[in-house]
Structure 1
């Protein structure tokens, strides 16, 4: 599996710990839907930001295991635009940033949100790295940045099954094959193990793994 499957509202509600959490979840989605229906120019400061306050409180109110899914649904229900997504990402914790990354393919059709992906790829937070390499990056991240992201996954221990569309993007990529081979040679020369995923992705490029 590459990314956690998208959860529906009913699926998320069924996973919440109790009726109090479910009531909070329903109210949060109502706030988000109200914001989506209200033109920005007509929004009061409270209405414009109430769903964002809910977004930040999702882990505390719904349980940390459910927070990613709850936050992603809130962003989608609010039809958050690039400005709101950027604000929530920049002001958020790593968990909140991860939810923004999960929501991008549902909300931003073009490459305008790539700065958020690129920021996540500069971190060493493995869960954030994995979220950054979802469907949005698969569609919009350029080849140079994508290759370096794959190498960073190998370096930090993020399993390459988390990289969406890995096989499609790696196919026939000679430059990626060269980078992988060089990386493997450096690891071997330093007496360090070569990540087990490396041979698999090298094979995807069309190159045969070599004994180093």
Structure 2
């Protein structure tokens, strides 16, 4: 936590006013010394007024430092007010786990949408992350897209702490609300057979309704492709858009089944692109798919 505090302070020095930082440091000290709850709540709400909402001016080195400290932490889209509110959260006394979680519960209960975004983005940085699983699951269920994306995208907490059921529901919901799967940290490492089944069922529902299926749907599927899934991939390769064909080819390449490799061999250009490294999930996301800002 001390290193997280240090990094956030360094970043704010480049983006916030001296007056705002002085106010923030005073509030941090008061909160850390056990000030009344109202001091925290008043300060947490007032942060944008004192420090503004400009984006943090982060360099490539800053982002590397974040990754080195906590793999999957990507504050490249954080603003001054979000970083400042995170520092206030980190200042909360946390010697007693149960009392600390009770304090967080009160904050979550009273938070507005912008504050909830900060709370969910901060989960992997807070003390006792293993105690926040229920809160993360509630964020996944939120009907506010910005709150859902705060926990689901560019956030290492779900991959590190959620069980498969919550994880699978999060990935499926990301598809349902149109969030890009490539921004889910740890997606490839958390693929599982149940998720593959859920995603292909979802694809069938979309097809039946004459609705498009994002190419990213096939990313968590290839490793667990069975005969039925290979038939789906064959359909996509035969009739899909360029991006869909590339995704289906990548899914085939990930499958250990001979049937999948035989299917891929019918598309030698795609197979060669994969073998050369010209076609990958990263390149597909970069070149073919829109990126969430």
Which TM class, normalised by the smaller chain length?
A: 0.7 to 0.9
| C-alpha distance after superposition, 1:16-72 (max 9, x if no partner) | 2xx3xx42233223322332233xxxx5x3xx4323211112223322342222211
Unmatched tracts of structure 1, length 5 or more: 1-5
The yes-or-no answer on 1:78 pairing with 2:92 is yes
| Higher Cα radius of gyration | 2
Which residue in the other structure is 2:9 paired with? 9
Q: Structure 2: give runs of 5+ residues left out of the alignment.
A: 1-5, 55-79, 95-99, 237-293
1:163 pairs with 2:184: yes
2:116 to 97, 109, 113: 97
**Which deviates further from its counterpart, 191-200 or 174-183?**
191-200
Which whole-Å CA distance do the structure 2 matches of 1:79 and 1:102 have between them? 19
Distance 1:108 1:141 in 2: 16
Give 2:33's aligned residue.
Answer: 37
Query: For 2:81 and 2:129, how far apart are their aligned partners in 1?
Result: 26
Question: Against the structure 1 CA distance between its residues 29 and 87, is the aligned structure 2 distance closer, same or farther, given a 3 Å change threshold?
Answer: farther
Aligned mates of 1:135, 1:192 — CA distance in 2: 31
Distance 2:41 2:19 in 1: 17
Is it true that 1:51 corresponds to 2:65 in the alignment? Answer: no
TM-score normalised according to structure 2 size: 0.60
The 2-side partners of 1:33 and 1:76 are apart by 11
Give yes or no for the alignment of 1:154 onto 2:150: no
Q: 1:163 to 1:51 in 2, by over 3 A?
A: same
Measured in 2, the distance between the counterparts of 1:60 and 1:206 equals 51
Query: Deviations for 1:82-140, whole angstroms, at most 9, x for unmatched residues?
Result: 22222111101111011111222222334322222122111232221122232222222
Question: What TM-score does the superposition give when structure 1 sets the normalisation length?
Answer: 0.80
String of CA shifts for 1:131-189, please: whole Å, max 9, x gaps.
Answer: 2232222222111111011000001011123322111111xx11111111110111011
Name 1:131's counterpart in structure 2. 150
Indicate the residue corresponding to 2:50 in structure 1.
61
Relative contact order (C-alpha < 8 Å, sep 6+): which is higher? 1
* RMSD after superposition: 2.3
**2:31–2:88 Cα contact (<8 Å) kept:** no
Whether the 8 Å contact between 1:28 and 1:51 is mirrored in structure 2 is: no
- SS of 1:8's equivalent? helix
- Quick one: structure 1 residues 156 and 111, their matched pair in 2 at CA, closer, same or farther if it must change by over 3 Å? same
Give the count of matched residue pairs: 193
